[in-house]
Structure formats: structure tokens, C-alpha cells
Amino acid sequence: MSSSTEIADTSENVLSSSDGYSYEDEWWEMNCSIIPPEFNRLMLVGVVGAVIAFISVCFNTFLFVVLCRNPRHRHSHLVYLMFLSVADIFLSAAYILLFPVNLYMDYFASELLAAAWWSYMRIMITISHVFISTSAFLICAAAFERYITISKIACQFARHHRLIIIGACIFIAIIAKGPMYFEFEVVPNANCTGVTSLTAIPSEFSESEPYKTAYKFWFRNLLTVALPFIMCFYLNFAIMHRLRIQHLGAKLFRFATSEHRQNIRAATLMLVAVTCSYLASNLLNVVVYTWELVDKESLLSENIRPLYTLSSDLVSLLTVVASACRLPIYLVCNARIRCEILDYVDNCVLTHLHIKPYSGLGSKRCRATTVRYCDTGSGYMVYDTKQEEVIPSPVAPNKKGERRVRSVGTGLDRVVLSVAMGSIKASQSTTHLTIPLNNNAMIIQEE
């Protein structure tokens, strides 16, 4: 009896120790083991996303330097693009430090990357969200100013107080996203060591009411996700509708299709392209937000959670893609920025690298062509006063060295222009007008 009892006790101790070892192993597997990222996610976020974010940082840094070199941009609508490039620099850099580095530390099981990532994770998440919201507000402000410009609405505040509007955009973004820094804490992960030694948990106040529902869910998401999207969509549609009306009007009056009008239309189309890129990159974010509003628990189910994770990765990636696309959009749509960028490449970059600049392009694309309106009796004509070696032309110059280029407008346009010139003559004898062209700065002198 005693021996059998001892055997039974020994068997029970073995089972209990075996059960204890199994439970401890299962707990360690759930809380302390390193789960390597999937290959597709590693390629999408860790490689493609990192490369696009790096390109975005380079493009927007270059764009910021080019725009800052011209003091006139600080008092024009391009000041929005200047601050937008700064926001894109920060959010693209934050993307690299947050998402790819997080995957690399799990994939390589690097304790050094893990220690660095946990040290800056809270501040980088806050910075990235603040500048994402700032960029959305800046695009809305630029779209609103462009809309009132082409609609000829008298609103001098938007034009004369751009820095105040930009400061308000940054302030609202900080109010909406700044508290994210205090909404979670980095704490030790039980007895885990190495890469999984730390973890993040929600802070106590962030889970309390009404902060969780009223501020985090409704105020923040409506202000930074839904409202900018709706405003940009409406303003974009209104701007395109206004451009269509102007284009139809240009068929009746050829004077309306002048170089100056084309410049205005090009600047407007540039902003329309920027707004469209923002809308396209945030469409998925709005869809995910709407799903969270309707049924958030279904997103955390076993079947939908992988799709939810992929959608979250794509939302961040599309934001960086939109930031990287801004410089190509400016180059294609805006001749003034294209001219300044190419000149900067010629005069600064290629010169310092001892590479021969583009032959003759710098002088041709930024030349200042002086032309004169002259009443010939049958309408106002335009004369180019540039010398033949600067602008080769088959038309021979006259005795004064001037060269006739083209006649402006139809008969009705000449009547309108005659009335305008008559009004100018009543106030002063000689008038100089400056009209920016796509490739030139035209100085118009009326004789």
C-alpha cells in the first residue's frame, strides 16, 4: 500500500509539473515570443514604403529649399505649399522611424532597434499625426483661397493673412492630435526579455468617459478625417466647375485665353491635382473610419482582422505616396515652380558637381520679354524689343531694332482694349504693366 501510494503521488507530481511547464510555455509563447512579420507585409511596408518615404523626404526638402530662395513666395499662395512641404518632411520621416523600423526589429530580432524604437515611439506617433492633420488643413486653406480667387469673391483676409491661417491650421492640429502622446504608456512586459521586454498599454485617462467617446472618437475623427475630406471634395468640385465655365467663355473671347489666364488656370489645376491626390490617399481612411463607426467589433474578428491590418498599412503608405507625388505635380502643372526648380538645378546643383548645365535653357525660360502695345489704327499690336541674338526670328527688325510678334485678340477685343487703354491714358501718359507668362515675365508698355 505504501509503495503504490508513493507511485501515485509521484505520478501526480509529474503531471502537475508537466501541466505547469505546459502552461508556462504557452504563456511565454503568447506574451514574449517574437512574431516575425509576413513576407508580403515586410515587402510592402519595410521595403516599398521605406523607399517611397525616403523619396518623399528628399523631394520635399528640395522643394522647401527652392521655395524659400524666392522671398516673393512668402507673400503669395505658394506659402501654403512651402509649409506643406515641411509637414510632408516630418510625416515621411516619422513613417520610416515607426513602421519599417518596427518590422525590422521583429524580423532581425534586434534588441538595439527595439530599444531605440520604444524610446521615440510615443513622440513620433504624435508628430506624424499632427503633421498629417496639418497637411490636410493646409490643402483645405489653399483650395479655399484658390476657389475665392477664380470666383472673384472679395475676401482680402485669406490673401493678406496667410501666415495667421497657417498658424491656425497648426494649432488646430495640435489640439486634435497632440494629446495622443499621453494616451498610452510604455511599460515592462512582465518577465519578458530582449525585443519583447517592453510593451504599450492605454493610459487610464484615455479610456475614461467622455474623453474616449466624445473627444477621441467623435471630435478627433470628425475634425481631422471627415471634415477635411468633405471640404476638399466640395472645393475641388466647385473649382473644376468654375474652370469649365471659364473655358466655355474663352471660346467666345479669345482674349480670355491669354498667357496670364493660362497661368491662373495652370496654378488652379496644380492645386486641383494636389487636392485629388489627397482625396485618393484618404479615401480608404474614410472607409475604415466609417466601418469603425458602424461596427468596430467586426474589424477585430478572426476573419476580418488581417484585412483590417492591411488597410491600416495602406492608409499610412498612401499618405506618404501623396506626399512624394507633390513635387512631380508641381513640375508638370506650374511653370513658375518648374522654372525655379530647373534654374536651381542648373545654377546650384550641377555647378557644384562640375556638370555642364542645360545649354541655354536657363536664359530662355526665365527671360523677361519687353513688348509694347502700339495703336496701329486697325487694332493694338504687340512688339518684342529683344535683340535677334536673344530671340531668333525670321521677321526682320525695324529701324529701332524692334520686332513685331503677333496681334492680340479679335475685333471686339480691340474695342475693349481701346477703352481700357483710354481709361489708363486719362490718369497717366505712360503705363507699364507686368503679366507673368508660362515661360516669361512680359513687361507691357503702352506708347
Domain boundaries, the chain: 36-347
Pairing of strands 441-446, 403-407: unpaired
Cα-based angle 200, 221, 82 (whole degrees, multiple of 5): 95
User: How many CB atoms neighbour CB 79 within 10 A?
Assistant: 19
pLDDT computed for residue 124 by the predictor: 94
| Mean per-residue pLDDT, 141-159 | 76
Alpha-carbon distances, residue 300 vs 3, 27, 307 (angstroms): 55, 22, 10
Half-sphere exposure of 251 (CA within 13 A, CB side): 5
pLDDT computed for residue 381 by the predictor: 44
Amino acid at residue number 13 = N
pLDDT computed for residue 7 by the predictor: 38
- Kindly report each contact of residues 333-339 with a partner whose C-beta sits within 8 Å and lies 24 or more positions away, as own/partner: 333/266, 333/267, 333/269, 333/270, 333/273, 334/266, 334/267, 334/270, 335/263, 335/266, 335/437, 335/438, 335/439, 336/263, 336/436, 337/66, 337/67, 337/78, 339/365, 339/366, 339/439
* pLDDT-wise least confident of 42-56, 67-81, 240-254: 240-254
| Mean per-residue pLDDT, 417-422 | 57
Amino acid at residue number 350 = L
* pLDDT-wise least confident of 3-12, 158-167, 220-229: 3-12
pLDDT computed for residue 421 by the predictor: 56
**Separation of alpha carbons 122 and 319, rounded Å:** 20
pLDDT higher than threshold 80 for residue 93: yes
Q: What percent of the chain has pLDDT over 70?
A: 64
pLDDT computed for residue 9 by the predictor: 47
pLDDT higher than threshold 60 for residue 78: yes
**Separation of alpha carbons 263 and 259, rounded Å:** 6
**For residue 170, what is its C-alpha cell?**
497648426
Which residue, among 318, 159, 144, 173, has the nearest Cα to 231 in the 3D structure? Answer: 144
Contact 174, 205 (CB under 8 A): no
Cell 489704327 sits on residue: 377
Amino acid at residue number 54 = F
pLDDT higher than threshold 60 for residue 370: no
pLDDT computed for residue 251 by the predictor: 53
pLDDT higher than threshold 70 for residue 385: no
Q: How far is CA 357 from the centre of its chain?
A: 30
pLDDT computed for residue 121 by the predictor: 93
**Separation of alpha carbons 358 and 342, rounded Å:** 9
Per-range mean pLDDT, top range of 29-38, 247-256, 413-422: 29-38
User: What SS3 string covers 265-303?
Assistant: HHHHHHHHHHHHHHHHHHHHHHHHHHHHHHHHHHHCCCC
| Mean per-residue pLDDT, 136-141 | 93
pLDDT higher than threshold 90 for residue 126: yes
pLDDT higher than threshold 70 for residue 442: no
Contact 263, 335 (CB under 8 A): yes
pLDDT band at 59 (very low <50, low <70, confident <90, very high): very high
Contact 79, 73 (CB under 8 A): yes
pLDDT computed for residue 103 by the predictor: 92
pLDDT band at 177 (very low <50, low <70, confident <90, very high): very high
Contact 442, 434 (CB under 8 A): yes
Asked, as a colleague might, if the bond just before 210 is cis with ω within 30 of 0, I would say: yes
Cell 474652370 sits on residue: 243
Number of residues written out for the chain: 447
Contact 195, 104 (CB under 8 A): no
pLDDT band at 96 (very low <50, low <70, confident <90, very high): very high
pLDDT higher than threshold 90 for residue 167: yes
Q: What percent of the chain has pLDDT over 90?
A: 26
Among 1.10.760.10, 1.20.1070.10, 3.40.1000.10, 3.40.50.300, name the CATH number for the domain at 36-347. 1.20.1070.10
pLDDT, one tens digit per residue, over 317-348 is 999 999 999 999 988 888 878 888 888 887 76
* Comparison of pLDDT for 88 and 160, the residue scoring more: 88
pLDDT band at 425 (very low <50, low <70, confident <90, very high): low
pLDDT, one tens digit per residue, over 248-276 is 665 554 444 455 566 667 777 888 888 88
**For residue 175, what is its C-alpha cell?**
489640439
Tell me whether residue 212 is exposed, middle or buried, using C-beta atoms within 10 angstroms of its C-beta: 0 to 12, 13 to 18, 19 or more: middle
pLDDT, one tens digit per residue, over 206-247 is 888 888 888 888 898 889 888 999 999 898 888 888 877 776
**Separation of alpha carbons 169 and 224, rounded Å:** 11
Contact 334, 56 (CB under 8 A): no
